[in-house]
Structure formats: structure tokens, C-alpha cells
Chains A and B, each alone.
Chain A
């Protein structure tokens, strides 16, 4: 159990490629922290620096209060689950899971009891004698997790551990990992590019882009109060609608709508952000209304998505699946003013 602190950490692979740029982040003891962002955003590099697999160009990483910059990986007492699982192909499942203990000089009987215990938790008891190539993808993934938990490390690092699993297994394993976290009461740092994984698993989420940390907050807050257009667009599916607006005083004007803002934002050009799920079917009590010309319909059973145009802007709207709509219809919808976001068109920062 431990906390982890990144203090102004920078990683440059060469003079002009910066993978991580001045990252400051504090991960609390026993917290489940998710680093999320598109590929190449520096999230894996941040994790690998913590594991000791990459040098740190500038700044400090601390585990508890100890600076670990120069500490070799084996002394950091962290365990890592790799995206490829990285199981040792020439060793049995038992030896794979016991390798870390063996390297640390545990006795044979201690290794046996800890590996058996982990095997029982992960339903691998029957497979301990097998080689990795004789296992299914899901079983390999569990061995990789097992190899991490037998060590009882201070911090768990997971680098996209679910991305090689099929969709159903992924959901199931996601839940198992959450249970594992509760049961172990250890700090987890989890890297993913999947915003659903981030939202469902994280106590807090750190959104990264181009090596720069954008926002750190609990999932609810990331969703409700994104600090900029990038975070707003990355979290949520389908993605948030962005409508360019011209603002004069309290009035915002887009190509297909006009509305009164609750307060004057003080900029001339803004971007209005509305999530597809935040349109109201009844216009009477809404502050503003739009006329959506429907171009494409998607009925998913639980939801119905309308893709269409308001003025010259594209829009996605989620409506009640019972609502009868046809392609070409004009649908009148209200805007929930409480859930509206406005961004500065220049800086892309949230104004409210």
C-alpha cells in the first residue's frame, strides 16, 4: 500500500519528441487511478517510468515519500500487468506466477502456498502445470494478474490489460478487476484508451493528450464539468455536440439556434457543447429549442439516436426509443440549460 506522486515529470525520447510533458499527479493510497487518452498521449510512458522501465528526463517520481528516479525496477516493489501479458513462454503457469517470489528469495513452501492461493482466487487451480501457449486469452490474462498479486506489491500497474480480450470477456474481467481492487486494498494505476473502462473503474480519472495532463477528477466530475473541449469530447459516447456560436453580451447565436446565456461570458466566439443525452423532448419548459432535420436513425433498443442538422451544424441527439421519427422529419427539441457547456473558441477552455 502506497501513494504515488509525479512531480513535474517530463520524458523526452529525443530533443523533439516529448512523450510526457511536465506531469504532476498525486495518486492516493489504495486509490484506483485511471490514466486515459488516445494512443501516443504518454499514458503508458508515465506508467513505465513509475515501473522503472524508462528513464525520467526531468522531475521526480515518489512512491510514498521516497524518490524512485534512480531505483532499479526490482527495488520499487510494484507489479505490472502488460498489455501483451508478457508471460514467460518456457515456464509453467505455476513458475510464471512464482517467478517474482523466487527472485526475491522466498522459500519453496511459501511460493507454493501463495501461488496456490492466487490460483484459487483467479480460478487457475487446474491450470498451474500448463504452459502459456496452452491457455486461452482470458486465462493468460488471469495468469498475468496472478503473477502480479502473488507478490503483494505496494502498487499495481496495469497497462491496457483488457484490450486483447473480446467484448464480453472484457466486461466480465473489468468487474473482476474492480473486485480484486476492493479485496486487496492496494493502489491501482490503470492505463487505457477506452473511456468506458475509465468511467466504470476509476476512483479518479486522469485525461491526457499529447503528453499533457488535461484534467484529474472523479468520473462524475469529468463528465459534468470537463475543463476543455478535448476532455468534453473524449469522455461520453456518442461524443458531445460542438456548435460554433457568436456571442454578443448574453446572446449566443449559432447557424440554427439562438439562446440567452445565464451570464455574459465575455468572449466573442464560443463553442456550445451539448451531450446527445441532454436534449429535452418537451419544449414548453425549456429555455431554448432547436429544429433538427433528421438524416440518419439508429435504434439500439434501449436508445434511439438521431443524426441530423440544425442550420448548417451536425448534431447527434438521444431520444426515447418509443418516439416515432422518420428520416427527413423535423423534430423540435428543447435544450437543458443546466447541462449546457460553453467553451472559448480560441483556447478551447470551458467557460461554464
Chain B
């Protein structure tokens, strides 16, 4: 009887087979995903719970460190009243927005020109930009320091607004070039024959269609400048002009003394804008607006 029953449940379409399939799927897809999620999210979790722990709980090793017993907002209150954190957040926002806008403006023009216009040396310039991107900031900061000093821009937000584009523009240009190349050339040719100038064809046809790419580039540029550390560390010494990454690491760590509560609260707040932006625009990366443009 048992043998018969077993034969029955193994038939395709019966519960057992579906069950097997589900287990197999879980093992092949969900288990690795879960492991990855745990690994990547754990630091964030640690950061979040630490920022809500009271001073006594932080150093109490007799209880599990994975949970908060008495959540408190003390560190946040402290961060906003006792440190320059609000100022750092404001500086970071100004620098990130300004350098992103400058970089986008230049990159849209450069990317479009390299993708569309035929002129002598276009390929070389394209490669040149790519190579520029490969030069590490750790090398570039030496000459840039000299430039910033000559311009008397130390401790001035302009120092960052002007230097961030040195790595943002190559990156965004390269990325947008690909996007512009993906837009069928005929669309702009049709616009040119229809009576548009080159600039009009770009503004009315190419840019709207490259919008997903432009938003993606904007997001990357914003994230890179928001998190940038090296230049901000070198060019900004006055506490009032620091950005979050520099302010947090310089002023919330004194020698070997770590203010863990404020550190974690600041780090959490610093990562919120980027996370919000990503969740808002994630669809834009996926949306292919050119569907239906060509072919019958």
C-alpha cells in the first residue's frame, strides 16, 4: 500500500512534486538571497540599534547586544544641540546639490556631443575622459590642493563644489554617452527635417528620452558627493564648513575615545537622504521609455 501511495504522490501535478519544487526553489533562490541580505543589512541594523541605546546599555556586556531594552533619543538630542551636526548636514546638502547640478549640465552636453556629433578627435576625447576617471583622487588631491590654495578657497564650500565635478563629470559623461547612443538616431534626424535646430532636437527629443539615464547619473553623482571624504577632509578645517562624513569622524572621535551613540545617530541620519532618493527613483532605472519608438 505504501509503495502505491508513493507512486501516486510523485505523479506530476500532485502535492508532493509541487512541494519538492518549492523546497528546491527556496534552497536555490531564497536561501542565498537571505544570507546576502543578512550580511549586507547587519551593519545598518547595528548602527540603528546602537543609536537608540542608552549610555549604560552600550557598555553592558551582560545582555544581548542585538536588542535595545530601553530605547532613548538622547544621542539624537545631543547631536543636534551639542555638536555642529545640523550645520554639517546643511553643508553636505549644498555641496552635493550644487556639484551634482554643475556636473549634470556639463555631462549632458559632453555626453550628447560625444555620442552624436561627428568631429575630429571625438573618440580620443571620449577615451581621455574615461582615463581621467581612472586617476584615483588620492593622487589628484595634491595638485588640487595647490589650485585651491591659489584660489584662496580653503574652508570655503566652493572648494568642494568645484573639485567634486573633477570625478563626477567623467563618470556622468561616460554613463550618459551610453544612454544617448541608445536613442535611435533617426528620432533626432526626423526632428531636424521637421524644422528643429540641433539644440532643439537635443532638448525636445534626446533629453526627454534620456531622462532615466540622466536621473540615474544625478543619483550617482549626488551619492558620491554626499559621501565624499578625502577632499572634504583636506580642504575643510573649520568645524562650521565641514560635511557630515568629515565632521562625524573628526569631531565625534577624540583620539581613542569614540562617542558611539552620536556616531551611530549621525551615520544613520547621514544615510537617510540617499536611501530615500534611491527608493523614489528606482523605477526610473528600469523604465525603458523608448519602447515603441521604432519598428512596426
Number of interface residues of B (CB under 8 A): 25
Closest to A169 in B: B296
Q: Would you call B296 and A82 a contact (CB within 8 A)?
A: no
A195 within 8 Å of B (CB atoms): no
B238 within 8 Å of A (CB atoms): no
Q: Mark B60-93, 1 if CB is under 8 A from A, else 0.
A: 0000000000000000000000000000000000
Chain A neighbourhood of B197, CB < 8 A: 72, 74
Q: Would you call A73 and B291 a contact (CB within 8 A)?
A: no
Q: Mark B211-251, 1 if CB is under 8 A from A, else 0.
A: 00000000000000000000000000000000000000000
Q: Would you call A89 and B291 a contact (CB within 8 A)?
A: yes
B189 within 8 Å of A (CB atoms): yes
Q: Which of B184, B209, B293, B296 contacts A164 (CB 8 A)?
A: B296
A85 within 8 Å of B (CB atoms): yes
B290 within 8 Å of A (CB atoms): yes
B191 within 8 Å of A (CB atoms): yes
Segment 88-145 of B: residues with Cβ below 8 Å from A: none
A167 within 8 Å of B (CB atoms): no
A66 within 8 Å of B (CB atoms): no
B292 within 8 Å of A (CB atoms): yes
State which of A110-118, A131-139, A217-225, A314-322 sits at the interface with chain B.
A131-139
Q: Which of A52, A134, A137, A151 contacts B296 (CB 8 A)?
A: A137
Closest to B198 in A: A72
Q: How far is the CB of B94 from chain A (nearest CB, A)?
A: 32
Q: Would you call A88 and B186 a contact (CB within 8 A)?
A: no
Q: Would you call A103 and B193 a contact (CB within 8 A)?
A: no
B194 within 8 Å of A (CB atoms): yes
Q: Would you call A133 and B292 a contact (CB within 8 A)?
A: yes
Q: Would you call B193 and A78 a contact (CB within 8 A)?
A: yes
Chain A neighbourhood of B255, CB < 8 A: none
Chain A neighbourhood of B271, CB < 8 A: none
Q: Would you call A74 and B209 a contact (CB within 8 A)?
A: no
Q: How far is the CB of B152 from chain A (nearest CB, A)?
A: 46
Q: Which of A76, A85, A103, A157 contacts B294 (CB 8 A)?
A: A85
The distance in angstroms between the C-alpha atoms of A89 and B204, with both chains bound, is 11
The distance in angstroms between the C-alpha atoms of A104 and B197, with both chains bound, is 11
Of listed A72, A84, A147, residue having the most chain B CB within 10 A: A84
Q: Would you call A141 and B296 a contact (CB within 8 A)?
A: yes
The distance in angstroms between the C-alpha atoms of A165 and B294, with both chains bound, is 13
The distance in angstroms between the C-alpha atoms of A141 and B192, with both chains bound, is 19
Closest to A138 in B: B296
Q: How far is the CB of B68 from chain A (nearest CB, A)?
A: 49
Q: Mark A184-202, 1 if CB is under 8 A from B, else 0.
A: 0000000000000000000
The distance in angstroms between the C-alpha atoms of A33 and B30, with both chains bound, is 63
A204 within 8 Å of B (CB atoms): no
The distance in angstroms between the C-alpha atoms of A235 and B296, with both chains bound, is 27
Q: How far is the CB of A152 from chain B (nearest CB, A)?
A: 12
Chain B neighbourhood of A73, CB < 8 A: 189, 192-193
A154 within 8 Å of B (CB atoms): no
Segment 168-186 of B: residues with Cβ below 8 Å from A: 184, 186
Chain A neighbourhood of B293, CB < 8 A: 84, 86-89, 132-133
Q: Would you call A84 and B193 a contact (CB within 8 A)?
A: no
A90 within 8 Å of B (CB atoms): yes
Given A84-B184, A165-B296, A52 and B193 contact (CB-CB distance below 8 Å): yes
Q: Mark A71-98, 1 if CB is under 8 A from B, else 0.
A: 0111010111010111111100000000
Q: Would you call B189 and A53 a contact (CB within 8 A)?
A: yes
Q: Would you call A103 and B196 a contact (CB within 8 A)?
A: yes
Q: Which of B200, B204, B291 contacts A133 (CB 8 A)?
A: B291
Known: A72-B192, A131-B292. 11 other contacts (CB 8 A): A82-B190, A88-B191, A89-B187, A89-B291, A89-B292, A99-B191, A99-B194, A140-B296, A141-B296, A147-B190, A164-B295
Q: Would you mind naming 27 contact pairs between A and B with Cβ atoms under 8 Å apart?
A: A53-B192, A72-B192, A73-B189, A74-B192, A74-B196, A74-B197, A78-B193, A79-B193, A79-B194, A82-B186, A82-B190, A84-B294, A84-B295, A86-B186, A86-B294, A87-B190, A87-B292, A87-B293, A100-B194, A100-B195, A103-B191, A132-B292, A133-B292, A133-B293, A137-B295, A140-B296, A151-B195
